[in-house]
Amino acid sequence: MTHAIAPCILIVEDDPDTAEAMAQAACDVGADPVVRCSYAGGLAAAAGAEFAVIMFDRMLPGGDGVDAIAKLRAAGSTALVMVVSALGRAANKIEGLEKGADDYLAKPFDPDELRARLRALLRRKAMVALDNDVMVFGDLEIRLKARTVHIGQAHVALSPKEFELITYFARNAGETVTRMQLLEHVWNLHFDPQTNVVDVHVGRLRRKLEAVAGRAVIHTARGQGYVFDPQREGAA
Amino acid sequence: MTHAIAPCILIVEDDPDTAEAMAQAACDVGADPVVRCSYAGGLAAAAGAEFAVIMFDRMLPGGDGVDAIAKLRAAGSTALVMVVSALGRAANKIEGLEKGADDYLAKPFDPDELRARLRALLRRKAMVALDNDVMVFGDLEIRLKARTVHIGQAHVALSPKEFELITYFARNAGETVTRMQLLEHVWNLHFDPQTNVVDVHVGRLRRKLEAVAGRAVIHTARGQGYVFDPQREGAA
DNA sequence: GATCACATGACAAGTCCCGTCATGTGATCA
DNA sequence: TGATCACATGACGGGACTTGTCATGTGATC
């Protein structure tokens, strides 16, 4: 499961009423809409954040949304692209689909159909994420199936126990996790072994993460336990 | 990269001329079409093989293709589904999309548009595969990024060296691989160590695969080397 | 039957992982 | 400031796994 953050949908549309209807459809399917009204503004927004779906009009101030697709892909974007356009003949659809759009909807559109197609695209998007059970915290990414951790492009080499630890921490991100919780859920022990096994292992994990991230990722809550918060600034 | 096997597209359509046009479009986009003319026949075909895309008509002898989607999903199918139907009003499209279709095309369709939409679906299908660099041989699946091997639903536990071996074999599937090739590419040795290290390791890998697959996967080419062919019948 | 190619069982060495222990460091309190 | 406690870190040893080697059994060919 992708960490519980609503997907973002970028809408690039110069007609305010149409943009409004598209934003409403995005909200209706549980996504956060971000609206831009020009070709350049749309490209800039796409470069600045992760979007699950990008909806482009064709005749925009500054360019044709279909031409933006190659630019998005060249920049590494994996967003699914829906073109929404008054250019609705089959030839227009074919051109858009062949230039890399994932769906093409002609204007004027039925809002219910737009919603249904957005849901279908988001289902598709979820397939990739579900296939790897990804948890993302800024530049820190945990792939549960592949059992890998990356910070930015850098792979963090973890032992099996360290991976179990960070998984438990990630599932309780931002909350204080006690040593007894870790003993129960990571070591499957329901008593105190009277050793500092938890401290030692958490220390190992911390040093590996800090070496790559260049900042503290696991913080000590003195007298309580630890807090996993990769996006907090400052020392442990 | 998915191993160079053409994707299969299942077409469930009772009108022969339409089925023919759809099969032609599938061929045109580089896929192998499999055609069925009844609802039950379509479901049976879907259960019997892996399809990248399944195209269902709605008014089929025996049922409505839209109703098949839930059955496909319950059976674990990850095929993308396109509904192609004379029922082409927005309400029909919405119903199909909300019942899980990935795309919906009204009849009569423009063959070029059908092709473009098939390509878009296959691109999406490739997204999932690319994310894990999957090599598939029938029921045997190698995920290069996760470094896992599954036969059907069963995980095959391989050591690092065994995984390197099967990867090299898979990249040369169906061809005879010599011991010297394996020494060079898997062991990075460019001389004969005068031991039977290759034989021993290949033997270990073979026994693990055969234990799960219930059939020989790696075959001996006497005096030459080995052939990786998981889909061949018969002993080694 | 002899010889060669290949398969398999067993062993030893190296590496990694994990837990324990001892001790150093930092925080808190009287 | 010193004592005490909480936590961090370095080091060690044992167990598990991986890998390569060797010896020998088995099958194929002549």
The pLDDT of residue A130 is above 80: no
The pLDDT of residue B179 is above 90: yes
Extract the tokens encoding B142: 């190698």
- How far are the Cα atoms of A113, B88, B119, B162 from residue B110, in angstroms, in the given order? 21, 14, 14, 50
Specify if B2 maps to a domain.
no
Length of chain B: 236
Q: Classify residue B7 by its DSSP letter.
A: P
Averaged over A108-137, what is the pLDDT?
80
Provide the domain count of chain A.
Answer: 2
Residue A3: its pLDDT value, please?
43
Residue B122: its pLDDT value, please?
85
Averaged over A148-153, what is the pLDDT?
86
Domain that holds residue A114: 8-131
Q: Tell me which residues from 184 to 223 on chain A have a beta carbon below 7 angstroms from nucleic acid strand D.
A: 196, 199-200, 202-203, 206-207, 220-223
Strand partners, B32: B8
Angle at Cα A80 formed by Cα B67 and Cα A68, nearest 5°? 140
Residue nearest to nucleotide C18 (CA to C1'): A161
CA dist., res. A36 & res. B112, Å (int): 32
* Closest residue to A90, CB basis, from B94, B110, B143: B110
CA distance A49 to chain B (A): 20
Contacts (Cβ under 8 Å, ≥6 apart) of A187: A197, A198
Averaged over B78-82, what is the pLDDT?
87
Q: Is the same domain home to A77 and A91?
A: yes
At B232, is the pLDDT very low, low, confident or very high (cuts 50, 70, 90)?
low
Specify if B3 maps to a domain.
no
Domain closes at, from B131, B154, B185: B131
pLDDT (tens digit per residue) in B109-153: 899 999 989 988 887 777 666 566 788 887 888 988 888 899 887
CA distance A5 to chain B (A): 21
Angle at Cα A144 formed by Cα A215 and Cα A218, nearest 5°? 25
Residue A70: its pLDDT value, please?
85
The highest-confidence range among A20-34, A62-76, B64-78, by mean pLDDT, is A20-34
Specify if B205 maps to a domain.
yes
Among chain A residues, the shortest Cα distance to B128 is held by A128
Q: Is the same domain home to B127 and B148?
A: no
Contacts (Cβ under 8 Å, ≥6 apart) of B61: B14, B37, B38, B39
Averaged over A12-29, what is the pLDDT?
92
Specify if B1 maps to a domain.
no
At A1, is the pLDDT very low, low, confident or very high (cuts 50, 70, 90)?
very low
The pLDDT of residue A202 is above 70: yes
CA dist., res. A38 & res. B118, Å (int): 30
CATH number of the domain residue A47 falls in: 3.40.50.2300
| ipTM tops 0.90 | no
Q: Hey, what long-range contacts does A179-188 have (CB within 8 A, 24 or more apart)? A: A179/A225, A181/A225, A182/A225, A186/A161
* A218, containing H or E segment: strand A218-221
Q: Classify residue A50 by its DSSP letter.
A: -
Spanning CA of A70 to C1' of C17, the rounded length in angstroms is 47
Residue A62: its pLDDT value, please?
85
Task: Dihedral sign for Cα B33, B34, B35, B41, please.
Answer: negative
* Closest residue to A97, CB basis, from B91, B98, B119: B119
- Does the CB of B231 sit below 7 A from strand C? no
At A139, is the pLDDT very low, low, confident or very high (cuts 50, 70, 90)?
confident
Q: Is the same domain home to A120 and A24?
A: yes
CATH number of the domain residue A154 falls in: 1.10.10.10
Cβ(B115)–Cβ(A93) below 8 Å: no
Q: Is the same domain home to B42 and B156?
A: no
Extract the tokens encoding A152: 């930015």
At B176, is the pLDDT very low, low, confident or very high (cuts 50, 70, 90)?
very high
Q: Is the same domain home to A178 and A124?
A: no
- Does the CB of B93 sit below 7 A from strand D? no
Residues from chain A that touch B128, judged by Cβ atoms under 8 A, are: 127-128, 131
- How far are the Cα atoms of A6, A61, A216, B199 from residue A169, in angstroms, in the given order? 21, 47, 14, 44
Residue at token pair 């197609």: A117
Strand partners, A155: A150
